[in-house]
Amino acid sequence: MATSRRGINLLGLARWLFLAFLLAFTALPMVWMFSTSIKTEFAAIQQPPVWIPAEPTFDQYTTLLSPANPTGRQFLGYLKNSVWVSTATTILGVLIAVPAAYAFSRFSFPGREPLFFSVLVRNMFPVVVFLIPLFILMKFFGLVDTHLSLILTYLTFGLPLSIWLLKGFYDNIPPELERAARIDGATRFQAFWKIILPLSTPGLVATAIYAFIQGWNEYVYARTFINSQNLMTMPVGLEKFFTEYASNWPGLMAASFIMSVPVVVLFLVLQRHFVRALTEGAVKH
Amino acid sequence: MAIAEAPALAGRREPVAIPARETLGHRITRHWADYLYVLPALLVMLIVIGYPLIYTVWLSFHATPPRTGEWVFNGTQNYQDILSGPRFWRVTMNTIYWTVGSTLFAFILGLGAALALHNPFRGRGVVRALLLIPWVVSAVAAAYVWRWILHSDYGLVTGMLKSWGVIDRPLILLDSKSYVMPTLIAVNVWKEFPFVMVMLTAGLQTVPEGLLRAARIDGASTWNQFWHVTVPHLRGVILITTLLLFVINLNSFTLVWLMTGGGPANASQLWITEIYNIAFRSLQFGMASAFSVILFIIMLALGYFYVKALTANAPRREG
């Protein structure tokens, strides 16, 4: 008994140490990002490094976020483009994924299984394989240097996981519910709209967050498809900022921080749904 | 799941009373409306995936000199050039090192995190949420913050180690041929272990508590409970997670591209970055396509196992 107690305690201690290490590993880079962003350029390169600057300044943030100066105007432009592209991708993605997932879950048309797996297999393909032909395709349709090229491409990143997650949700909703509604005189669409959709809200929220974050963070296609400065999204804008002001680390960190805040906050608020959706949808399945 | 599904299947099949010899054409026409639901998804996937794939394969058999813009069929020349190229094996070794190393360590860390957070305690939700941050942060922001942390002159790591007296000269990591890969892998693990954690957290919740309790009552040690009850239950999730991770790593571009650009002296050049260079720096689309096709074939093999893992996983849960 005594040994097993000590065994448990040792295990418990190891667990706390491990968690402390993980927390430091994940959080410190972000803390350092913020800490640097509120230093002056001179303070940022002082050694030994200081976590809490003696004279914090928010100059970098005011520069980046005020439309009064060229840097700020540029940066706000990137921000606006990212919001637009990510939002459009998210809305379109949900609109397309919901009926597809529903059909894969409920109907038994010929070719259902192969089609479902062909959708999933998208996850397996290297991004670069599509980059070259898509670039040529977009050029052919005159879509290079438009937001539409990005929205179309991002759609396909999100769709497989969205469909997979949502299908798992629909599988878990007993069809008897719809059948009961149909008997009571509801159309197939009404049954879906009034019964199924509300029950699958966590799945919808999860797939929407996923699509939004993907669009917000995507870099390779944004870099390749967009040439005009006024159409660039945040990740590419950040790279541009880095190459232009290479030694301004506080500025770069402030820009990175502003870029990270929306998705981190969005995700932290809604991550419960996300984990639940994975549990209900993907994994249980 | 099983309860919901069984009567549904029975209910769907019996009243229709499908004649034994219904042709495929009939079945398709009878279900024509069902296809409307999946049509938008299929269209998008077809345009953005089907077409590019075929086009890449076609392009890989052509010489595409950027100057003339005239594309000429040249058989397997591109493939031969790649396989006999001076850098090919070097880049291949880097890619294997990167993919296996990242997958392995991200998995170990993610599994550890999922297990450490499995039993409830005060503040567990907060800890879990905080651990997810690197996964959500853009790879571009991550690349720059790590470049800054690892900066050889003004970086946090050099500064801390110096002030503790561990080193007395700048610590060169990203510019060192021997340290660059382990450093990049560490950053990549930072970025993606939360993904493993989420997947396995979800998986752990499906392990029946009763089974673990029974094992405990029978005197099984913590390790035995883990190894003989938890792990077999998680087999499907573990398989899918590692496969996905493997593919994600094989495909990952942004971190390496922005942190080292494949340098120093190609010490961190991966297939993906190499392909990008061939295509968009040297503008040799044919050559880059051939390289993509090689990568694609490897993915296809992995994809086969992925689908098998998914299908093998599904029916077992039904019962």
Q: Which ipTM score applies to this complex? A: 0.87
Higher per-residue confidence, B268 vs A195: B268
Please give the pLDDT value at position B11.
38
Contacting residues of B for A26, CB less than 8 Å apart: 130-131, 133-134, 190, 194
Distance CA A123, CA A130 (A): 12
Determine the distance in angstroms separating the CA of B205 from the nearest CA of chain A, rounded to an integer.
Answer: 7
Distance CA A209, CA A8 (A): 39
- Please count the CA atoms within 13 angstroms of the CA of B36 that sit on its side-chain side: 5
Determine the distance in angstroms separating the CA of B177 from the nearest CA of chain A, rounded to an integer.
Answer: 23
Nearest CA in chain A to B200: A283
What SS3 class is residue A56? coil
Partnered with residue A54 across adjacent β-strands are none
* Inter-residue contact B100 to B166 (CB < 8 Å): no
Ranges in chain B, pLDDT < 50: 1-17, 315-319
Distance CA A50, CA A1 (A): 48
Tokens 């040799």, located at residue: B284
- Across the interface, do B295 and A99 touch by the CB < 8 Å criterion? no
Determine the distance in angstroms separating the CA of A5 from the nearest CA of chain B, rounded to an integer.
Answer: 12
Contacting residues of A for B222, CB less than 8 Å apart: 7-8, 11
Nearest CA in chain B to A107: B34
Q: Give per-residue pLDDT as tens, A142-194.
A: 999 999 999 988 887 778 878 888 888 888 888 888 888 888 888 878 888 88
- Across the interface, do A45 and B154 touch by the CB < 8 Å criterion? yes
Q: For chain A, how many helices (H) and strands (E)?
A: 14, 0
Residue A210 pLDDT class (50, 70, 90 cuts)? confident
Rounding to the nearest 10 degrees, give the CA dihedral for residues A228, A229, A234, A235. 70
- Across the interface, do A96 and B190 touch by the CB < 8 Å criterion? no
Q: Residue B95: what residue type? A: T
Distance CA B185, CA B256 (A): 9
Nearest CA in chain B to A253: B145
Burial A173-192 (b: 16+ CB within 10 A, else e): bebeebeebeeeebeeeebb
B235 φ, ψ (degrees, to nearest 5): -50, -45
CA angle B77, B81, B86 (to 5 degrees): 175
Both tokens assigned to A226: 């967009």
* Inter-residue contact A211 to A154 (CB < 8 Å): yes
CB atoms within 10 A of CB B122: 7
Determine the distance in angstroms separating the CA of A136 from the nearest CA of chain B, rounded to an integer.
Answer: 9
- How many residues are there in chain B? 319
**Shortest CB distance from B130 goes to which of A26, A115, A217?**
A26
* Inter-residue contact B113 to B198 (CB < 8 Å): no
Residue A285 has pLDDT above 60, yes or no: no
Contacting residues of B for A171, CB less than 8 Å apart: 1, 4-5
| Percent of chain A surpassing pLDDT 90 | 33
* Inter-residue contact B245 to B196 (CB < 8 Å): yes
- How many residues are there in chain A? 285
**Shortest CB distance from A256 goes to which of B56, B144, B222?**
B144
* Inter-residue contact A147 to A218 (CB < 8 Å): no
CA distances from A87 to A216, B17, B110 (A): 9, 46, 30
CA angle A276, A279, A281 (to 5 degrees): 100
Q: Under 8 Å CB-to-CB from A30, ≥6 apart: which residues?
A: A260, B133, B137, B145
Q: Under 8 Å CB-to-CB from A73, ≥6 apart: which residues?
A: A67
**pTM score over 0.90:** no
Burial A234-273 (b: 16+ CB within 10 A, else e): bbbbbbebbeeeeebbbbbbbbbbbbbebbbebbbeebeb
Q: Indicate the pairing of strand B72-73 with strand B62-63.
A: antiparallel
* DSSP conformation class of A230: G
Determine the distance in angstroms separating the CA of A216 from the nearest CA of chain B, rounded to an integer.
Answer: 8
Residue A88 pLDDT class (50, 70, 90 cuts)? very high
- Across the interface, do A156 and B133 touch by the CB < 8 Å criterion? no
Residue B91: name the closest of B305, B298, B271, B230 by CA: B271
Please give the pLDDT value at position B244.
83
Residue A83 has pLDDT above 90, yes or no: yes
CA distances from A139 to A86, A227, B55 (A): 22, 12, 14
Dihedral sign of CA atoms B138, B141, B145, B146 in order: positive
Mutate to test the interface with A, among B5, B12, B31, B45 (most CBs of A within 10 A): B45
Q: How far is CA B195 from the centre of its chain?
A: 10
B156 φ, ψ (degrees, to nearest 5): -65, -45
Determine the distance in angstroms separating the CA of B178 from the nearest CA of chain A, rounded to an integer.
Answer: 23
Residue A195 has pLDDT above 90, yes or no: no
Please give the pLDDT value at position A124.
66
- Across the interface, do B139 and A234 touch by the CB < 8 Å criterion? no
- Across the interface, do B116 and A18 touch by the CB < 8 Å criterion? yes
- Across the interface, do A127 and B272 touch by the CB < 8 Å criterion? yes
- Across the interface, do A274 and B198 touch by the CB < 8 Å criterion? yes
10 Å CB burial of residue A162 (0-12, 13-18, 19+) is: buried
Q: At what angle do helices A2-37 and B88-116 cross, to 10 degrees?
A: 120
Instruction: Share the mean pLDDT of chain A.
Output: 85
Distance CA B315, CA B310 (A): 9
Contacting residues of B for A242, CB less than 8 Å apart: 144
